[in-house]
Structure 1
Amino acid sequence: MTDDDVLLARIGDARFVLLGEASHGTHEFYSERAHLTQRLIREKGFDAVAVEADWPDAYRVHRYVSGMGVDQDAEEALRGFARFPTWMWRNADVLDFVGWLRDENERREAHANRVGFYGLDLYSLYASIAEVLRYLEKADPNAAARARARYACFDHYGGDPQVYAYAAGRDVSASCEREAVLQLLELQARALELAQSDTELFYAEQNARLVKNAEEYYRHMMRGRVSTWNLRDRHMMDTLRELDRYLGKSMQGKKPRIVVWAHNSHLGDARATEMGRRGEWNVGQLAREAYPGETFHVGFSTYEGTVTAASDWDAPAERKRVRPGLRGSYEEVFHLTGLPRFLLVRGGERDALWQGPRLQRAIGVVYRPDAERWSHYFQTDLASQFDAVLHIDRTRAVEPLERTAMWHGGEAPETYPFAV
């Protein structure tokens, strides 16, 4: 049996399959998630893919794969991902998957059976404001005027969420909280009045919810990491829950099945990590609590290779060398097996390998090898975090659709194979 075969058998009837990644820039993680997701869609009838991306950008892809958009191809549909880090979704592996999903949906006869693509994240404050206004200008010009007056509160900050974070975090009178809440409540009331499934209204309502939650997120940014981390993951979980409810309305009693793509740190249960001990929760924990017995969590791991990442926030993408796993870490323990790749599942023959606590590496969009221990490792019990973990000992950087000179000139081991 292949790793996918084993995972499909273990997933069983789970409605939510959470597929992680140990970095935001590793080809194998994207590729493996895509292949497993394709099988979940075709063989187990999964209905949607929800990813760690902003709602309006991902919804542009949703329109394309559903045959509703104006984009001519997958590359054009991905152009909404223009904010740092662009390579996280504008890369060769996502491009291939989006193209596959469009083809898969075209094979299906009923529009209602088409698989959707949605974003869970909350960074798109101003883009989501624009999308709420766009919807209302078509649906109800009077409501659009009220929304424009409310959202004008945010105009004082020049379209920069960081400026808003600084101002609202220091002075509560600068907050646009009331305006964001009122606008969400009005859209929710509109949805209740219609009492029917309206795709564009649902899209607008989710954008209004994002504005409300993003306002809170940026307002708390000055107060410390735990608060903003919890707000962000709570928003992602709320979006997943709302998506589940919305999709279920048109399924005549059938419950939706959703694949989630995000970083290991979001999808492994926070209660099994030092994150949890310092008061943080995440989507993995919240999903297990909200849908007991209906979730299956898969983590990914690598020992060395290359990764696409930046040296600082908002800096150019580079192809960086991933250092060998630290002594005593899960990565080193897995490497010492001598196996190029293997799958760990609960109750398997290698159970002892992933019992914790041990150090586990997490590379986001920024990778700082010189400060790796403090920037990229944290204590976890891997077997409690996930239901399964796929380790690939040597991996390579995901290929951005826009390859900068710094990416081409990045650190690559002299003998590393780059053939696809």
Structure 2
Amino acid sequence: VTRVTESRFEEEELGGVRFVPLVGAEGWREERPRPPRVERPSALAALAAESCEPFASIETIDLEPFLRRVGDARVVLLGEATHGTSEFYRLRARITRELIARKGFDIVAVEADWPDAARIDHFVRERDVPRAKWQAFARFPTWMWRNRDVRDFVDWLHDHNQGRERGRRVRFAGLDLYGMYNSIAAVLGYLDRAEPSSAALARQRYGCLTPWQSDPAEYGRAALTGEYRSCERDVVGMLQTLLEKGMEELRRDDEPFFEALQNARVVADAEAYYRVMYYGAAESWNLRDRHMFATLERLLEFHGPSSKAVVWEHNSHVGDASATEMAARGELNIGQLCRQRFGPAAYSLGFGTHHGTVAAASHWGGPLEVKQVRPALEKSYERLFHDAGVPSFLLPLRSPRKPELRRELTEARLERAIGVLYRPETERASHYFHAVLPHQFDEFAWFDRTEAVHPIETHELTGMPDTYPFGL
């Protein structure tokens, strides 16, 4: 109320004003915090939710629609967004079991070294081969293949093969090239048994690499700077010697020579890889993926025109590189090469997650850590699928349930990739890249929350036979 004149007053309504003491039982209390505002999913997130195939668990997922989409594909590439997530390994295993049992796939080819994976193959196919003296999958990162999920699949594959004729058993093979010295040992072991006259020559040629056995990357640096001579002539010469033995016309039952020849190729390509890695990332990356693709082709050729392969590798390898920023760096990958070679007969499935835990290291050669995966960044495919509000699903991209989804998803977005290292403190720079998902993969598997793989503990191997590939 304001007095304007001696007899006139003006009144102003202030609303519901409360007067309370500042202290005591009736003192001022802060208002209760309001519940967070629930954001409605974007139109695109809602479209993804409408287009996906939700599933409650890996054990109960209905894979019949997925198998129909795979159709008559000869190569199915199954990715992973990390090298340490249990759900990715378990879904790949579940899909692979169905492809073997219902589609006749007879090769499982993985992102592992050829000689190490051969130890698994000898076990699952019960091949009578001399026991190697070295431990398989002992190289960093050991948890990538020495984990419970891989062990469970290997045990299943061994049991599955028991009911099949020896010539029709499913093969387990490694596509990678890092196991150079184990491959050298395998070549020498083969020659000692089959071609003793050539074994001495092989030891002389491969001896060039012996001083660098503990650190092959240091060999590459020394060869590049001229501190040490290049071993290229020696390892390529050894490969050529094997090819000139008159056995290049491989028969299907000539497994020992096929493996020895592939090990010689691993040595030749690995020697080149460790030299090229100092020229630039694109050169070494491309050499490695071309090697993996060529190995896959040789496996399919060796097992005949009706053979089919399931590939387990990281998203960054199985997703078409031409649909990502890798192309701008001049990089390619096995997924791109498979599309070029097999066309629609290659079918790829990418994987993703929003948050959870992952098995990874902080630096190369470092110890395993179980790390928290940070929630996905804005403007990423992972954030989009999180906003869809479906905990786990398959999302067809080649022929989506709603055709407009593919069009809407073709705007480039961020995509996360965690390898054997995870550095959340530099999340954006270390683990995200731009991609066009419908051009990168034919389908996408989503888990909103995931957990780290569990490495195999020593006590779990007690009582296992000497042929068990994860033995100590």
Q: Secondary structure at the match of 2:278?
A: helix
Q: Is the 8 A contact 1:341 1:393 kept in 2?
A: yes
Summarize the Cα distance change of 1:78–1:148 in structure 2 as closer, same or farther, 3 Å threshold: closer
| 1:93 aligns to 2:124 (yes or no) | no
| 1:241 aligns to 2:297 (yes or no) | yes
1:14 to 53, 73, 97: 73
Residue 231 of structure 1 is matched in structure 2 by: 287
Unaligned ranges ≥5, structure 2? 1-52, 54-60, 459-472
| 1:120 aligns to 2:175 (yes or no) | yes
Q: Secondary structure at the match of 1:274?
A: coil
Q: Is the 8 A contact 1:270 1:385 kept in 2?
A: yes
Residue 26 of structure 1 is matched in structure 2 by: 85
Structure 2 distance, partners of 1:215, 1:340, is 45
Deviation (angstroms), 1:71: 10
Residue 38 of structure 2 is matched in structure 1 by: none
Moved more, 394-403 or 15-24: 394-403
2:267 to 211, 223, 230: 211
Deviation (angstroms), 1:69: 5.2
Deviation (angstroms), 1:192: 2.9
Q: 5 Å matches for 1:41-120?
A: 41-68=100-127, 79-108=135-164, 110-120=165-175
Summarize the Cα distance change of 1:353–1:37 in structure 2 as closer, same or farther, 3 Å threshold: farther
Q: 5 Å matches for 1:338-417?
A: 338-346=389-397, 347-349=400-402, 350-351=405-406, 354-402=409-457
Q: Secondary structure at the match of 1:203?
A: helix
| 1:169 aligns to 2:228 (yes or no) | no
Summarize the Cα distance change of 1:30–1:354 in structure 2 as closer, same or farther, 3 Å threshold: farther
Deviation (angstroms), 1:190: 2.4
Q: Is the 8 A contact 2:232 2:272 kept in 1?
A: yes
Give per-residue Cα distances to partners, 1:226-275, cap 9 Å, x unaligned. Answer: 11101110100010011111111xxxxx4210000000000000000000
Deviation (angstroms), 1:344: 1.2
Deviation (angstroms), 1:278: 1.3
Structure 2 distance, partners of 1:160, 1:341, is 42
Unaligned ranges ≥5, structure 1? 249-253, 404-420
Summarize the Cα distance change of 1:191–1:376 in structure 2 as closer, same or farther, 3 Å threshold: farther
What letter matches 1:295 in structure 2? Answer: A
Moved more, 354-363 or 51-60: 354-363
Q: Is the 8 A contact 1:334 1:353 kept in 2?
A: no
| 1:154 aligns to 2:209 (yes or no) | yes
Structure 2 distance, partners of 1:402, 1:324, is 30
Q: 5 Å matches for 1:201-350?
A: 201-248=257-304, 254-346=305-397, 347-349=400-402, 350=405
TM-score w.r.t. the length of structure 1 is 0.90
Q: Is the 8 A contact 1:52 1:262 kept in 2?
A: yes
What letter matches 1:333 in structure 2? Answer: L
Deviation (angstroms), 1:293: 2.3
Q: Which runs of 4+ in 1 moved over 4 A?
A: 69-72, 76-79
Q: Secondary structure at the match of 1:293?
A: helix
Q: Is the 8 A contact 2:175 2:292 kept in 1?
A: yes
Structure 2 distance, partners of 1:71, 1:135, is 10
Summarize the Cα distance change of 1:193–1:93 in structure 2 as closer, same or farther, 3 Å threshold: closer
Summarize the Cα distance change of 1:26–1:333 in structure 2 as closer, same or farther, 3 Å threshold: same
Summarize the Cα distance change of 1:62–1:5 in structure 2 as closer, same or farther, 3 Å threshold: same
What letter matches 1:122 in structure 2? Answer: L
Structure 1 distance, partners of 2:223, 2:338, is 31
Structure 2 distance, partners of 1:100, 1:223, is 43
Structure 2 distance, partners of 1:396, 1:18, is 22
TM-score w.r.t. the length of structure 2 is 0.80
Structure number with the higher helix fraction is 1
1:39 to 87, 98, 104: 98
Moved more, 387-396 or 285-294: 285-294
Summarize the Cα distance change of 1:191–1:205 in structure 2 as closer, same or farther, 3 Å threshold: farther
Higher alpha-carbon Rg: 2
Give per-residue Cα distances to partners, 1:356-391, cap 9 Å, x unaligned. Answer: 300000000000000010000000001100000011
Deviation (angstroms), 1:334: 0.4
RMSD across aligned positions (CA) = 2.0
Structure 2 distance, partners of 1:20, 1:66, is 25
Structure 1 distance, partners of 2:133, 2:93, is 18
Summarize the Cα distance change of 1:317–1:70 in structure 2 as closer, same or farther, 3 Å threshold: farther
Identity %: 52
